[in-house]
Each structure stands twice: as C-alpha cells, then as structure tokens.
Chain A
Amino acid sequence: MKQRQYAFSTDLLGNIALGRPNLGNLTRVEIYRLFQFTLRDVLEQKMSDSEIDQCFYDAGFLSGKEFSKLYIGQCDTFAQFIANTQAAMQSMKMGILRVEKADLDKLSFELTIGEDLDCSGLPVSGYEICHYDEGLIEGLFFSFTGQHFIVKETECWCTGGRTCRFSVEVLEQ
C-alpha cells in the first residue's frame, strides 16, 4: 500500500512564528475563499457534486476533531463546551456560533453560525454550501460526546438566510 504523504497531523500547521516572522499568522477571508472555491472548481470537473460535498464534510469532520483538541479542550458540561467553542471560533474569526435549541436527553440541537467564514456575503445560489461546516460541527460534537451525529445545514447565506442554521441529531446506532 502506498504510503500517505498527507495523513493529517498538527505538524502540518507548521511553526508559524518561525516560518512567517514578518507576515504573522493572519490572512484575509478572500484568500481562504479563493483557495476553497478554486479547489472546488477543479474538483467539480473531476467528481460528482455529492462526492465533493462528502469530501468537504469528511475534511470538516477531521478538522472539527483537531480543532477541538487544539482550541477547546476537555469540557464537563454542554454549556462549557458551547462557551469554549464560541470563544475559540470567535477568536479565530471563523464565525459567530449560537445555540437555538438543545435537548440533551435526545442529543438534538439547532445551531446557527453568523458571519460564516465559508459563505457569508456570497451570492444567493439557492442551495446550501456549508458542507465543510457540517462536518466540522459533527467533529466538535463527536469530540465532546464520543457519538456520531447527522449534521444538516437547513438555512444558509446562499439560500437567502442571514445566518447558517444547522440541525444536529445523534446518529442512532
């Protein structure tokens, strides 16, 4: 079996202080989107939409787990988990996370992300595009609960919303 070149590790985030002593660790949202949507453009010519969406979801899931380890840490309560996640996402300027409903017995949640890094300000296309966010949210919830969830974006800037809304339901075994 071919040895993988990019199995994710936090080493791939690099030593930014060493590597970018003058430019630092900030870049602009446009550059992030330029990267994401040119990548998507190329992928769209090689794969089906559902395959690309799944790739973005899976990448988001991996990212959510790593993000949780790096920036959220161990949380004892749901309130603490949300507070830490909100603070981390805000300080990284990824978006404004908010909870609209939380049923801890059924593990059923409704969240919104305002000023989302992926989509806020994009043209209204009529379909939800935040598949990476869906995966990321599942990764975060997986890290907190140890359980898998079905995360579905129900409203997006690209469908005319002002915030992206996500339903998060535990995946029944």
Chain B
Amino acid sequence: MTKDQIVTLISEIINDPLWNEKSLNDISEQDEQVLTLCRQLVHLRNFSQALAQGDLFYKSDEKGVAVGMLKQFQANLRHLVWQMNELAQGDFSQNVQYMGDFSTAFNSLREALAAKVDSMNELFNRYKKSSETDLLTGLPNRRAFIQRSHQLIKHVASFGNPISLIIADIDHFKSINDTFGHNIGDSILKQIAQCLRKQLRSNDLCCRWGGEEFLFLLCGAPLNVAQLRAENLRTQCANSVFDDLPPKTSITISLGIASFFPKAIEDSAITKTLEKVISQADQNLYHAKNNGRNQIFPPLTK
C-alpha cells in the first residue's frame, strides 16, 4: 500500500461513519503491520461505539494505553451502575471518586437525596404518629390500638399465654359536661387518661376507644390478674383530685373485663376474636354500670 492509501484508510476508519470493516480484507498479507494497526483502530472504534450506545459489557481483549483508557471508563461506568442501584435501594453512603466533575455532581445529588429522604421520613413519622394518636388525651387512638393489638396477640399466641381486655368508662360523664361545660369535660378526660397511663406496664396497650371510654389490653394476664389491675385502675381514679372541679367532687369509672387464650395468628381471625372479646367486655361494663357504677365486672371474689 502506498503512503496515501494508508492515510486514506486510517482517516476513513477514524472519521467515516459508513466505513465498512470488510474493506480490511482487501489489504494484502504483505502489509501485515498496517493491517494490525487498522484492526486496533477498528477495535477502538467499535469499543467507543459500544460505550456511546450504553453497552457496558463490550468484551475487549486488546492491550495498550488507548484501549486501556476505554476499559477504565467502562469499569467506572459499571461500578457507577451498581452504585446507582444501591442508591435506588436507599444506600446513601455511596460516594463517587476519581471521576472529576461527575464525582462532585453525583455526590451532591446523593447528599441532597439523603437530606430529602430524611426530611420526608421525619414528616412521615410525624404524620403517622399524629394519625395514631388521640389529640385530646395523647393516648393511642382506636386505629393504632387495633394495629398494635394484632402484633401483640400474634406474639402472645405463640407462647400460649392469656390476654385480658378491660373497657373503662367514666361515670356520669354527660352530666359533668352539662354541669361544668365541655372545656372542663375535656380537662377531666385528659386527667383520667394521665391517671390510667401511669398504671400501664411495658407490654400493656391502652387507647381512647371513643367518647369517655378507654380500652386496655393486658398481655399474659388471666382474668383474676386483670380483675386486680382493673380494681387498681378504679381506685386510682376514684382517689384522684381534679383541680377543675369543686372540692370533694369525685370522678369514678366503671370497668368491664373479658379474657381469652389467643389461638389465631391470621389477621382476619384475630379481628373476629377481638370483636367478640371487646363485645363481651362491653357487656360486662354494662353490668358494672347497672350494678351501681364505680365498680368492675366480673367483680373480685372474696
């Protein structure tokens, strides 16, 4: 090949998008060095094209500085893909290094994302807490109680221990509201909630069930233990002093108790069991009210 032919061929390999690799077949074996050089150029061209098209697994067995640079770039991109996937799964520790301005941009993006996710998590937790809390008393609300009780029941069921439910209802609450006003009524609700909260143990659950009713779930407590705990709740309330009320005005509660041994671990079955036991505790509360209030039902046997 003449010098001009060689220059033209190399120029076409580098610059002509329509150049066809088959034209290398026309080079005679006598020009072996030219052929080798052209094949290296073709490899660089194909490797560059693969990278430009996003093919990060183009296999290159060639050696040398130029192809080495492309391999390094390919390795950087492959690692970057893994890092992006990690980032997508919430791993914000990923840091890009040795990639110039791209490292700075990626790391800034990662920091900004981490900060956003942190603030969203904080917001989420705040809203979640507020959606699970009774605003007036600060106790868990009915929805939170149901959710947590499912988890506790599953846990207790695995040990074969009993569970007791207590419904407490403030006696004559309507007349408190009517006599002293709703603001005082709210204040009484808050103070009763505080009084009840103080009696909770670490694995008890309590919520404002609705109106002036509070519901307790006592893990591992059979009926006789629940009766003692209910009686304690009753006396604590009866002995409390309420600042907003005239002296010697006492507030009392009545309590209904029901116990069961949880067997089910399916959510639907737990829901049914809970409904049944709450209904039973509610009927017992009705008995306590009918028997004169400020008492528990079933009562402690002497």
Interface residues of A (CB under 8 A from B): 79-80, 83, 96, 98-102, 112, 114, 124, 155, 159-163, 165
Contacts and interface: CB of A to CB of B under 8 A. Distances in A.
B75 A162 contact: yes
B67 interface: yes
Interface in B86-102: 86, 91, 93, 97-98
Given A96-B98, A159-B63, A160-B62, A114 B93 contact: no
Contact of B86 (A79, A114, A159): A79
B71 A162 contact: yes
Nearest to B73: A162
B68 A161 contact: yes
Interface of B: 61-64, 67-69, 71-72, 75-76, 78-79, 81-82, 86, 91, 93, 97-98
11 contacts: A79-B86, A79-B93, A98-B82, A100-B78, A100-B81, A102-B82, A155-B71, A160-B63, A160-B64, A160-B68, A162-B68
Contacts of B69: 162
A162 B62 CA distance: 11
Contact of A161 (B71, B76, B78, B86): B71
A101 B91 contact: no
B71 A83 contact: no
Contacts of A162: 68-69, 71-72, 75
Nearest to A126: B63
Secondary structure type dominating chain B contacts: helix
Given A79-B93, A80-B93, A98-B79, 6 more contacts: A83-B93, A96-B98, A161-B68, A162-B72, A162-B75, A165-B75
A96 B82 contact: no
B162 to A, nearest CB: 37
Contacts of A99: 79, 82
| Candidate in A80, A124, A160, A165 with the most chain B CB atoms within 10 angstroms | A160
What 9 pairs between A and B have smallest CB-CB spacing? Answer: A160-B63, A162-B72, A98-B79, A100-B78, A162-B68, A79-B91, A163-B75, A99-B82, A162-B71
Contacts of B67: 160
B75 A98 contact: yes
A80 B93 CA distance: 9
A112 B79 contact: yes
A159 B61 CA distance: 8
A114 B79 CA distance: 12
Contacts of B93: 79-80, 83
B75 A96 contact: no
A163 B82 contact: no
A103 to B, nearest CB: 11
Given A124-B63, A161-B68, A112 B98 contact: no
A83 B97 CA distance: 13
Contacts of B91: 79
A101 B87 CA distance: 14
Contact of B79 (A80, A83, A100, A159): A100
Nearest to B79: A98
A148 to B, nearest CB: 23
Contacts of B81: 100
Contacts of A112: 75, 78-79
A100 B78 CA distance: 5
A96 B79 CA distance: 11
A159 B72 CA distance: 14
